[in-house]
Amino acid sequence: MTVAATITPAPGQPAITMTGVTKNYGSFQALRGVDLAVARGERIVICGPSGSGKSTLIRCINQLEQHEGGRIVVNGVEVGPEPKQLEAIRTQVGMVFQSFNLFPHLTILENCILGPTWVKKLPRAEAEAKAMALLERVKIPDQAHKRPGQLSGGQQQRVAIARALCMEPSIMLFDEPTSALDPEMVKEVLDVMLELAGDGMTMLVVTHEMGFARQAADRVIFMDQGQIIEQATPQSFFANPQHERARLFLSQIL
Amino acid sequence: MATTAMPGRGRATGLARSLFGSPLNFAVTAGFALLLWATLPFVVRWAILDAAFLPAVPETCRAAGGACWSFIIAKHSQILFGIYPYDERWRPMIVCLLLLGLLIHSVRPQAWRPSLAIWWLGALAASWLLLAGGMFGLIEVTADKWGGLPVTLILTVVAIGFGFPTGVLLALARRSDLPVIRLLATLFIEVTRALPLLSILFIASIMLPLLVPEAFLPDKFMRALIALYLFASAYMAEVVRGGLQALPRGQDEAADALGLNYWQKQRLIILPQAVALVIPALTNTVIVMIKNTSLVLVVGLFDLISSGKAALADPEWRSPSVEVYLFITAIYFVLCFGFSRFADSLERRAKGPAT
């Protein structure tokens, strides 16, 4: 129980270390030996063709998927399927999904305070104050008492970001956060993410928004067939991709 | 909907159009009018004009040509309470008032708090004590003498009140990641659903005592109660499972990602949505279960219908069975229709906007 509370990440320690991580779905190899080290405060954009293992990679970090081989260490704690490990990881790592996944039977505010009150046992008033501050930050405090179904897609995704931030995570995972949005709503979500990046949050973002990658990423990772085949700064990745498959991918999406 | 100037008139022309607007509508309206004209006078004459009311003695009914309501008036206590000793009938009367009162209290959202469960357990325990007696100076009345409405109410409340939470747990167990739990739940649900309720009641009341000495078994009433409860839980489990399957996987994942544990996730996220989705199907199951309680008559328990039949056996009267069954039908209708309205309000509440 106290595992989560006692983690105070050392400054030099990497936020995430993955070594030789593998994952299969039946005979399909989703991840084949992924090695990745993420520094504290680093912003990483992960791209690649569909089925390349991008989502599986970040879902293994908070154990929505269980990896089969290799090791994942988050803030110095080994990631695994034991309830104590899960609790330690999930209170440290926030996640934003492609389809928002807000809880439709609860109000926006209730969505935001659920984790803090039930998992972190925060008093309700304190959790509400913090949630309102974060809703303010994603610019929708006036919607706090509506239900998710009454909000636009862009608003819902901003609430989802606020909901994850309410748990005060040290790492945020984004799984194609703008793919399900109408084009005119993409910007409002990316703006919130840019602001978050500016605040020094450690972020792993699976996205095809190359504008976001150029603006905010420290590193772009290109995946294909369950492996990281190229990683570079956005400037050199976009200007001069090394691999044939990366060139092909960029020519298709840009 | 109607015009602002003359709201009454707008509605009236709308009604006229739907009654006579097309040849088909006209034909249907005329057909029903004809049917009513042919039957209504007879029904009114039988049920009201020619019916026998007071004094509630057999002679009143013999003199009258219509319905014999005198019988219901004279025998209402026997129909409602069966063969329960006559001088003690205030006891089942209090039980009925207690359970019906608590039912009416429980449908209001303001009443939904954990203490309500305690109230119900208390009310059921009090009902049991009051009916059975044998302490506090009450004469003991064994369960084979209980009958009528209190029996129907207790069977219904226990079968549904305990069957629903058990069904929810079974539905969760059937989707569990633990193979043993999943297997046991599946086995229980499939076996219980595969058996007719009648055979389960026979097993509980007749076969079980052949295998296990009677001294180790609860009495016949309790055995029937448990049988109904298990039967209801298996059916409700499958209805709830339908709701669980209809929820998108993302709800589970979002709850996991927030760090909620299994029970928090089910209680706060999954079940409220899954159950709200299956309210119509649950209502259906509950109404079937309310009426299923009448099947206990085959194992010699006196529910409302058996008490009615027993009352009809009095040779003084000319056996007005239609009137008795209409009376019992009315009671069942109030119970089932009442529940249906309650479910309707639950559904509206689940769909309604946030407060």
Q: Kindly report the backbone phi and psi dihedral angles of residue A13, in degrees, each rounded to the nearest multiple of 5, phi listed first.
A: -70, 140
* B352 interfacial to chain A (CB closer than 8 Å): no
Q: What is the separation, in whole angstroms, between the first and last Cα of chain B?
A: 26
The pLDDT score that the predictor gives to residue A2 is: 39
- Tell me how far apart the alpha carbons of residues A247 and B164 are, in angstroms, rounded to a whole number: 59
| Beta strand spans in chain B (E) | none
What are the CA-CA distances from residue A240 to residues A149, A218, A234, A243, B53 (Å)? 44, 16, 10, 9, 100
The pLDDT score that the predictor gives to residue B5 is: 47
Strand arrangement, sheet containing A93-96? A93-96, A171-175, A202-206, A43-47, A219-224, A227-232
* B271 interfacial to chain A (CB closer than 8 Å): no
Question: Which one-letter DSSP state was computed for residue A53?
Answer: S
pTM of the entire predicted model: 0.82
The pLDDT score that the predictor gives to residue A229 is: 92
B347 contacts in chain A (CB < 8 Å)? none
Strand arrangement, sheet containing A16-25? A28-38, A16-25, A69-74, A77-78
Of A103, A181, A186, which Cα lies nearest the Cα of A148? A103
Site of tokens 């989502």: A55
CA distance, residue A88 to nearest chain B CA (Å): 8
- Tell me how far apart the alpha carbons of residues B258 and A157 are, in angstroms, rounded to a whole number: 15
* A62 interfacial to chain B (CB closer than 8 Å): yes
Q: What is the mean pLDDT of each run of 10 residues along chain B (355 residues)?
A: 50 80 87 90 82 76 78 82 82 88 84 85 88 79 81 88 93 92 94 90 84 78 88 93 93 94 92 90 89 82 82 79 86 89 85 57
Q: Can you name the CATH fold of B74-351?
A: MetI-like fold (1.10.3720)
Of A35, A32, A79, which Cα lies nearest the Cα of A53? A32
Question: Which one-letter DSSP state was computed for residue B46?
Answer: I
The pLDDT score that the predictor gives to residue B104 is: 86
B259 contacts in chain A (CB < 8 Å)? 86-87, 90-91, 115, 119, 167
Amino acid code (one letter) for B204: A
The pLDDT score that the predictor gives to residue B352 is: 66
Q: Locate B241 and state its tokens.
A: 């499972």
* B144 interfacial to chain A (CB closer than 8 Å): no
| Positive or negative: CA dihedral B306, B311, B315, B320 | negative
Of A79, A104, A219, which Cα lies nearest the Cα of A156? A104
Q: Which residues pair with B174 in a beta bridge?
A: none
Of B116, B94, B118, B114, which Cα lies nearest the Cα of B106? B116
The pLDDT score that the predictor gives to residue B8 is: 55
Surface-to-core class of residue A61, CB atoms within 10 Å of its CB (0-12 exposed, 13-18 middle, 19+ buried):
buried
> Contact at 8 Å (CB) between B64 and B51?
yes
* A97 interfacial to chain B (CB closer than 8 Å): yes
Amino acid code (one letter) for B305: I
What is chain A's length?
A: 254
The H or E element containing residue B331 is: helix B321-351
- Tell me how far apart the alpha carbons of residues B15 and A222 are, in angstroms, rounded to a whole number: 68
Nearest to B259 among A145, A146, A167 (CB): A167
Q: Kindly report the backbone phi and psi dihedral angles of residue A202, in degrees, each rounded to the nearest multiple of 5, phi listed first.
A: -75, 125
The H or E element containing residue A38 is: strand A28-38
- A169: region left, alpha or beta (phi > 0 left; psi from -120 to 50 alpha): beta
B276 contacts in chain A (CB < 8 Å)? 105
Q: How many CB atoms lie within 10 A of CB B338?
A: 15
Helical spans, DSSP H, in A54-107: 54-61, 83-92
What are the CA-CA distances from residue B99 to residues A59, B157, B170, B316 (Å)? 51, 9, 27, 34
Tell me the DSSP string of B171-198: HHHHT-SSHHHHHHHHHHHHHHHHS-HH
Amino acid code (one letter) for B254: A
CA torsion B291→B297→B302→B304, rounded to 10°? 30
CA distance, residue A140 to nearest chain B CA (Å): 17
Q: Give CA B148 to chain center in angstroms.
A: 14
- Tell me how far apart the alpha carbons of residues B111 and B193 are, in angstroms, rounded to a whole number: 33
Look at A104 and B273 and tell me if their CB atoms are within 8 Å.
yes
- Tell me how far apart the alpha carbons of residues A156 and B240 are, in angstroms, rounded to a whole number: 28
* A146 interfacial to chain B (CB closer than 8 Å): yes
- Tell me how far apart the alpha carbons of residues B87 and B281 are, in angstroms, rounded to a whole number: 43
ipTM: 0.89
| Positions of chain A with pLDDT lower than 70, given as ranges | 1-12
| Positive or negative: CA dihedral B340, B342, B345, B346 | negative
